[in-house]
Chain A
Amino acid sequence: MAKQTFTTGQVLTAAQMTSLQQTAMGGGSPIQKTASYVLAADDAGTVIQMNSASSTTITVNTALFSAGDSVQIQNIGAGVCTVTAGTATVTTAGSLALTQWEGGTLYFTSASAAIFFDIVQSGGMTNPMNTSGDTIYGGASGTPTRLGIGSTGNVLTVSGGIPSWAAPAAGGGMTLLNSGGTALSGTTTTISTISGSYNDLVIYVVDYYASSDFGLYCLINGDTTGANYQQFVNRGTGSSNNAFVDNSTGGVDCTGYAAKSADNDNFTYIYIPNYANTVSKKVVNSISGFIQATGSAKAVCNNNTYYAGTTAAVTSLGFKTTVGTWSGGTVYVYGVK
């Protein structure tokens, strides 16, 4: 029922009251249109329903409506019906182009301006989330599906064609197992309780020197039995160049004899692959650069490969000076993934 101007003493019929009630509730009998239409003053309070297979417009002009008037607009036709600002201003947060089964309310704020409250007839989505941190992904046939948050540090990955949270794959890289490195001290410095959760061990022994001319030995699990260390020596000088020898002293001989000077900047690198296995014996590669103690003081590079006779997992590494005590140097033990 269109907006009425009532007069004192006017009597409303039941049908009029029913129509008024329907209109007040946002319903009422629509005024159907099948072609583009320009709103008229007596459309205030009514429902304009477009039903056209072709595109149409509903035009809004000024000086026809008052502030507070409203017109419901519906499109039930297949053609797009566009609410069009004629001489009046029409604003909306939605769309003025109404596809089939869309509609909205044109609400006038003045005689020359209206707001169109767009009601999109969308299927919507049932929110599957129910816990902080949840996310949504498309399940079977795109059904919105809840994915609960993972653990701290997890990354989003794909498993079986759907997303999931998982711990990041372990990269390469080295983890220092003796925090900050360990200063060499005494006759032997031992790094004990080495975790078996890595693939390989890499050891750096840096700037080491002793109170006397010395040799640096690395003891596997504290073993000093010479027969347990079979050595292939590849060194710059000495009588056992490029030779296979049993090490009579026991331990991985990294240097032979090094000069005791603190200024020599000696460095040793040791690599122990598959150190935690308990089936096979271990191979150990040691590369050292140092200043030799015998003959003329010159730089020497030792590249020694050892076959260590233990099938036990390597859990401790001792760094022994063959003579005197350690005066300086630091050992770093890294686990390698």
Chain B
Amino acid sequence: MSKPKIRIYDCETNETIDREMNSDEFAKYETEQLIEAKRKAEIDTLASAKSALLKKLGITAEEAALLNA
């Protein structure tokens, strides 16, 4: 399975290199992807919870914002 690609531009030589990640880069990338997935899930969960609460209260997001004003 091929690894994701990265692009590197060298300001001194004006050369652009496109290559696959090496093993270290790929390992770090996979770790970051897990963190990102978790963070995304938390955001989605929070958004769902907010949406459900607003529905339960029968108010809109704008009306809810007024409570904090």
Query: Using a CB–CB distance below 8 Å, which chain A residues touch chain B?
Result: 177-179, 182-195, 215, 224, 239, 248-250, 257, 294-295, 322-323, 325, 333
Contact = CB atoms under 8 A, between A and B. Distances in A.
Contacts, number: 71
B4 A187 contact: yes
A302 B43 CA distance: 17
B66 to A, nearest CB: 16
A78 to B, nearest CB: 75
B7 A184 contact: yes
Contact of B5 (A194, A248, A325): A325
A322 B36 contact: yes
B14 to A, nearest CB: 5
A203 to B, nearest CB: 13
A183 B29 CA distance: 21
Interface extent on B, as a size class? 20 to 34
A239 to B, nearest CB: 7
Given A177-B11, A191-B9, A192-B9, A294 B4 contact: no
Given A187-B21, A322-B32, A322-B36, A182 B7 contact: yes
A188 B36 contact: no
A125 B56 CA distance: 101
B12 interface: yes
A294 B28 contact: no
Nearest to B13: A193
A328 to B, nearest CB: 13
B35 A249 contact: yes
Contacts of B16: 182
Contacts of A325: 4-5
Contact of A224 (B10, B11, B32, B47): B32
10 contacts: A185-B18, A186-B18, A187-B29, A189-B8, A190-B6, A190-B7, A192-B8, A192-B10, A323-B33, A333-B11
Interface in B1-50: 4-14, 16, 18, 21, 28-29, 32-33, 35-36, 39-40, 43-44, 46-47
Given A185-B18, A250-B32, A295 B47 contact: yes
Contact of B7 (A177, A185, A215, A333): A185
Nearest to B4: A187
Nearest to B43: A294
Contacts of A323: 33, 36, 40
A331 to B, nearest CB: 9
A62 B27 CA distance: 111
B35 A248 contact: yes
Given A178-B11, A333-B11, 4 more contacts: A192-B8, A193-B11, A248-B35, A325-B5
Contacts of A249: 32, 35-36, 39
A239 B46 contact: yes
Contacts of A248: 35, 39
